[in-house]
Chain A
Amino acid sequence: MASEKLNMIEQFKNLDILKVDRRTFLKAVAALGATSFVSLYGNQLTEALAAFQETKVLWLHGAECTGCSESALNGSNPEFADALKELNVSLVYHETLLAQQGIFVDGKLAGTSDLNGEILLEELVKEGGYILVVEGSIGNGPQGSGKINMIGTHTFKSIYEKCAKQASAIIALGTCATYGGITVTNSDVKEYCDFMGVNQTETNKGGMNAVLGINKPVINLPGCPAHPDWFFLTVAAVLLGKIDLANMDGLLDGDGRLKVFYPPNNTLHDNCPRRGFYDRGVLDERFAEGGCLWKVGCKAPYVHSDCALRKWNNGTSLCMQAGGPCIACVEPVFPNGSMPYYVERESAGVLFGVNIGTVAALAIGAAVVAAGVHAVRRVNKEK
């Protein structure tokens, strides 16, 4: 058994994880276990990177909750500080971790970049050539002013503009930074705030980059929060040249996400630990019953992410495993397309803006035929 696993490792060691097809990827993960798979590549990357020069990462916080930073600190293989060290990444700016802060004396910047973060940021932008990580959405309101979010006498919109123009690539981390996420929940202040993602909104391509006329390579890593592996493996792949920033067409899906983490042809439902209950028609109608969560609102059949394989917090668990229905937090339509969170999809009438009658019949039909469950009962009734 052990030698079989070793052979597997030999076989998969040389895979380019970002270019393998889904099937091979799944086989590799299944053979090695998600955690060792990640760490295996971590080691491979480390060796390859030994001769690499330092890469600067400049991390900005817009309209955010710091959950994606918290999540990055939860990185396990590699751990946060190890990842920075082993990838030779210098985290040059990060508001939550920074030694510095903005200091003004009578309105003028004071001191040096040792203590003054505003001076540090000016120096970094002047040098350029960093990977820009954006956490949180970018506020355009009210009335295009960007004043909904001010940092150190500037609008965050203008800080983003300044930093993006000098970046070599941009990683939009988390659903707020990618598509607006929780900050664009429908409300009557939505238009006033006018939050948007880096390169996209919940419905349109373009995002803040279109407003500002910025044209840079952008990788979207949505999730509420984003998984630490998604982030560190992406940074590693960029540094290794596994991702060609000039041509990412084959790597990204239509929403700018890396296909390897957000597989377009599979859904989260396929690998759900409670999938067996669905197939047997054990559909819970109350919480804490241990069965399939479809009827209490689970959106996993419509969600493209590898959460169920990768799991969260060092492979500990994931929402459905703990009885929480998936709320589709990696999808561009989150959260407007997935609220109400606890209502069975077809009874909500609209699914991600698409008529349930067609989508549910397509997506669920096959499984339901096999399982003989009543999930589509209402769909049929509506027809």
Chain B
Amino acid sequence: MVKVTVDPLTRIEGHLRVSAEVDSNGVITSAQSSGMLFRGFERMLQNKDPRDAALHVARICGVCPISHSMTATNALDDLYQVAESVPQNALAVRNFIQAANIVASHATHIYILFGPDLANPRYRDVLTGSALNLGATGQAVWNELLGRFAPLSYKIDGQPVPVGSGYLNAIPEKKRLQEAIALFGGKMPHQAITVPGGVTCTPDLGDIAKSAAIYLKVMEFVQNYTLGVPLDTWIANTSQAQSPAAAVKFVTDHLAGLINKSSGNDFSRENGWKDVELFAAFGSELVGEKLLGLPASLRLDKLGGYSDAKNMCFLSYGAFYDSTKDGYNPASPTGERFLTSGVVRASNLKFEDLDTAKIMESTQCAFYEDDTPSRHPYDGTTVPVSDVNKINLDAGPTDKYSWLKAPRYDGIAAEVGPLARLIVAQDPLIIGLAQAFAGAGMSPANVYTRMLARMHETAIIAHKIVDYLNDIDPARAFAEPLDMRAAKDNKGMGIWEAPRGALGHWISADSSGKTKNYQAIVPSTWNFSPRDEKGIASPLEQALVGNAISGVDNIGGANYANPVAILHVGRSYDPCIACAVHTIDATGKNAPRDYELF
């Protein structure tokens, strides 16, 4: 047994440590993930003006700050009892900046954080080496991967590699989207406009027209680099397809068409192989090798799956209000939001309504003093370990080994993120793929489906974003005034979706209207938590078990010094660890500040 540890897992947000036990066949038998920074965010909000939360929590994460402010704002809308009267304009602006932030965040992940692993020398060895003998085809695919996804300052065998075209060209597009957000939000990261009751900005037609122009510019990039099918065509035939089977058939027919015209091993973008097509065909053994008859693939569908389906579900809180009318329901009932809330169990892939009472957090294996069984976030009570020696990097799976708490839904682990969101939303393409993998005896969730879902969701949201711009009417109000007294002895729940998945904030106020307790459960806490008191592992910990450490079935032998399975699986969830580690609850030691709220 060999222990392979990746620390820090770079190209993520924050500091994550992943360690794995690997057997003599190079297969992972057990894994642990640890968040290694604690900032104590929620504690900072106690005894403060509740309204401060929306700007303050944005600073939990500079990559998805909008999601945090939005979730806090939802909790505050609930606390101040104004959710039902938030003007349509405010909902539309919130939707727009959130949509643009998700598209920018997904693009960052696909091109800058995950993409570079497709240029890992492991794939040079597999595609151009003697083990598979793929000849010109293997070389051509490798050239595409390296030429598109090589990161900054990259070297292979000590030789510098030029930065990839996709990598380089994605940066200005991400920047452009941030400008569109800043038109409404003032600046990015850390916009200034989300307040309970609405938004602070009053955009005019010029701002709306400018953001539309930026959108069109970004879409030019998408059509030139990312997706080889017009966006409308893609959406009509995938997420709006008649059936899951029809959606999958549309994609596989499209890929088969490309293969037919590539007999000369021309897999270039100019020949129609945009980044989504290249990944969709060559990323998966089932789709690429078995369905399409390609000679090889990266077999990412054999990494990051779940072998114990009964302890796993997919969770979404729902995102994007109905911005054609005033007001919304903070409890996010099934079907109200564009991407609905809900839960789907991995064991049967059946939809259930979300029940937030089933959310509990365990601190058994986290660096907190409190070992009591799981608690609902409204009642969270934990204190960081007082003994410094308990922060121990060598701690085993039954010890304390992470700053992340362990949230569970109905007692089992939950994957959150684009894949979970689209499974819950019953998106035909993603459901069709999930059924195809389940039918082949494979896990519906794996590195391939997780990444493809992220690409597909980028298209879905990029397609929807225009509606939100249209919903803004500069002549109408953007905010509803607050009655500050409404917060007295009240509670508020904000549930929403960050790019990386389900994000929930829970706030309660005291009799003076100040924040009594604040709790946040963020996507990466769901995905990367340590074990809970029953020993159930988190999605990442479960997803590593059974993986070939070097990927591609360890063809050519396992190489512990290049553990691509850990790199791919870890990054496939798009970790955001600064988000995930923040939790600590009230002990009431802070003296209230000397000012009056009302």
| Residue interface mask A339-352, B partner, CB < 8 A = 1 | 11111000111100
Q: B109 to nearest A CB, angstroms? A: 11
Query: How far does the alpha carbon of A185 sit from the alpha carbon of B593 in the complex, in Å?
Result: 13
| B8 near A73: Cβ-Cβ < 8 Å | no
Residues of B within 8 A of A188 (CB): 43, 587, 589-590
Count of inter-chain pairs, beta carbons less than 8 A: 314
Is A212 an interface residue, CB under 8 A from the partner? no
Residues of B within 8 A of A340 (CB): 48-49, 51-52, 593, 595, 597
| A74 near B190: Cβ-Cβ < 8 Å | no
| A117 near B189: Cβ-Cβ < 8 Å | no
Contact of A74 among B153, B178, B200, B595 (CB under 8 A): B178
Q: Which residue of B lies closest to A113 (CB)?
A: B155
Within 8 A of A (CB), among B371-400: 384, 386, 388, 391, 393
Contact of A312 among B11, B48, B182 (CB under 8 A): B182
Q: Which residue of B lies closest to A71 (CB)?
A: B189
Is A50 an interface residue, CB under 8 A from the partner? no
Residues of B within 8 A of A81 (CB): 152, 163, 168, 171
Q: Which residue of A lies closest to B199 (CB)?
A: A288
| A97-B151, A115-B561, A287-B198 known; A79-B191 Cβ under 8 A | no
Contact of A67 among B49, B186, B190, B477 (CB under 8 A): B190
| B51 near A341: Cβ-Cβ < 8 Å | yes
Residues of B within 8 A of A142 (CB): 384, 386, 388, 391
- Secondary structure of the A contact surface, majority rule: loop
Query: How far does the alpha carbon of A98 sit from the alpha carbon of B9 in the complex, in Å?
Result: 10
| A106 near B186: Cβ-Cβ < 8 Å | no
Q: A121 to nearest B CB, angstroms? A: 10
| Residue interface mask B187-214, A partner, CB < 8 A = 1 | 1111111010111111000000000000
Residues of B within 8 A of A74 (CB): 175, 178-179, 188
| B56 near A182: Cβ-Cβ < 8 Å | yes
Contact of B3 among A69, A105, A327 (CB under 8 A): A105
| A99-B154, A186-B590 known; A225-B391 Cβ under 8 A | no
Q: Which residue of B lies closest to A67 (CB)?
A: B62
Q: Which residue of A lies closest to B19 (CB)?
A: A104
| A151-B8, A340-B51, A341-B51 known; A320-B44 Cβ under 8 A | no
Query: How far does the alpha carbon of A152 sit from the alpha carbon of B393 in the complex, in Å?
Result: 10
Is B156 an interface residue, CB under 8 A from the partner? yes
Is B270 an interface residue, CB under 8 A from the partner? no
Q: Which residue of A lies closest to B105 (CB)?
A: A70
Query: How far does the alpha carbon of A114 sit from the alpha carbon of B155 in the complex, in Å?
Result: 6
Contact of B151 among A67, A99, A112, A320 (CB under 8 A): A99
Within 8 A of A (CB), among B202-257: 202
Is B112 an interface residue, CB under 8 A from the partner? yes
Query: How far does the alpha carbon of A113 sit from the alpha carbon of B160 in the complex, in Å?
Result: 12
Query: How far does the alpha carbon of A299 sit from the alpha carbon of B551 in the complex, in Å?
Result: 54
Query: How far does the alpha carbon of A343 sit from the alpha carbon of B482 in the complex, in Å?
Result: 14
Contact of B175 among A79, A152, A318, A327 (CB under 8 A): A79
| A288 near B189: Cβ-Cβ < 8 Å | no
| B56 near A185: Cβ-Cβ < 8 Å | yes
Residues of B within 8 A of A319 (CB): 186-187, 192
Query: How far does the alpha carbon of A102 sit from the alpha carbon of B34 in the complex, in Å?
Result: 14
Q: Which residue of B lies closest to A224 (CB)?
A: B190
Q: A369 to nearest B CB, angstroms? A: 26
Query: How far does the alpha carbon of A186 sit from the alpha carbon of B14 in the complex, in Å?
Result: 22
| A65-B62, A188-B587, A189-B584 known; A288-B478 Cβ under 8 A | yes
Q: Which residue of A lies closest to B60 (CB)?
A: A65
Residues of A within 8 A of B178 (CB): 70, 74, 313
Q: Which residue of B lies closest to A315 (CB)?
A: B179
| B14 near A101: Cβ-Cβ < 8 Å | no
Contact of A71 among B46, B62, B596 (CB under 8 A): B62
Q: A231 to nearest B CB, angstroms? A: 14
Which residue, A98, A224, A313, A321, has most C-beta atoms of chain B within 10 A?
Answer: A313
Q: B80 to nearest A CB, angstroms? A: 12
Query: How far does the alpha carbon of A103 sit from the alpha carbon of B201 in the complex, in Å?
Result: 47
Query: How far does the alpha carbon of A117 sit from the alpha carbon of B153 in the complex, in Å?
Result: 12
| B55 near A68: Cβ-Cβ < 8 Å | no
Chain B contact residue count (CB 8 A cutoff): 102
| A322 near B186: Cβ-Cβ < 8 Å | yes
Query: How far does the alpha carbon of A75 sit from the alpha carbon of B176 in the complex, in Å?
Result: 10
Is B281 an interface residue, CB under 8 A from the partner? no
Is A193 an interface residue, CB under 8 A from the partner? yes
| Residue interface mask B310-348, A partner, CB < 8 A = 1 | 000000000000000000000000000000000000000
Q: Which residue of A lies closest to B393 (CB)?
A: A153
Residues of A within 8 A of B152 (CB): 81, 84, 91, 94, 97, 99
Query: How far does the alpha carbon of A320 sit from the alpha carbon of B187 in the complex, in Å?
Result: 10
Residues of B within 8 A of A70 (CB): 62-63, 178, 188-189
Is B36 an interface residue, CB under 8 A from the partner? yes
Residues of B within 8 A of A61 (CB): 15
Residues of B within 8 A of A153 (CB): 7, 393
Within 8 A of B (CB), among A89-138: 90-92, 94-107, 110-117
Residues of A within 8 A of B191 (CB): 322, 324
Residues of A within 8 A of B6 (CB): 101-104
Which residue, B13, B61, B62, B391, has most C-beta atoms of chain A within 10 A?
Answer: B62
Query: How far does the alpha carbon of A186 sit from the alpha carbon of B200 in the complex, in Å?
Result: 27
Q: A282 to nearest B CB, angstroms? A: 14
* 13 pairs from A and B in contact (CB 8 Å cutoff): A71-B62, A73-B171, A95-B10, A104-B5, A105-B4, A115-B562, A156-B15, A288-B198, A312-B188, A340-B49, A341-B52, A342-B51, A343-B49
Further pairs besides A70-B188, A151-B8: 14, Cβ < 8 Å = A73-B171, A103-B4, A107-B5, A111-B562, A114-B155, A139-B37, A186-B590, A189-B40, A192-B40, A287-B200, A313-B182, A322-B191, A325-B192, A340-B597
Chain A residues with a Cβ under 8 A of chain B: 61, 63-71, 73-76, 79-81, 84, 90-92, 94-107, 110-117, 139, 142-143, 145, 147-153, 156, 182-183, 185-190, 192-193, 195, 224-225, 286-290, 312-314, 316-325, 327, 329, 335, 339-343, 347-350
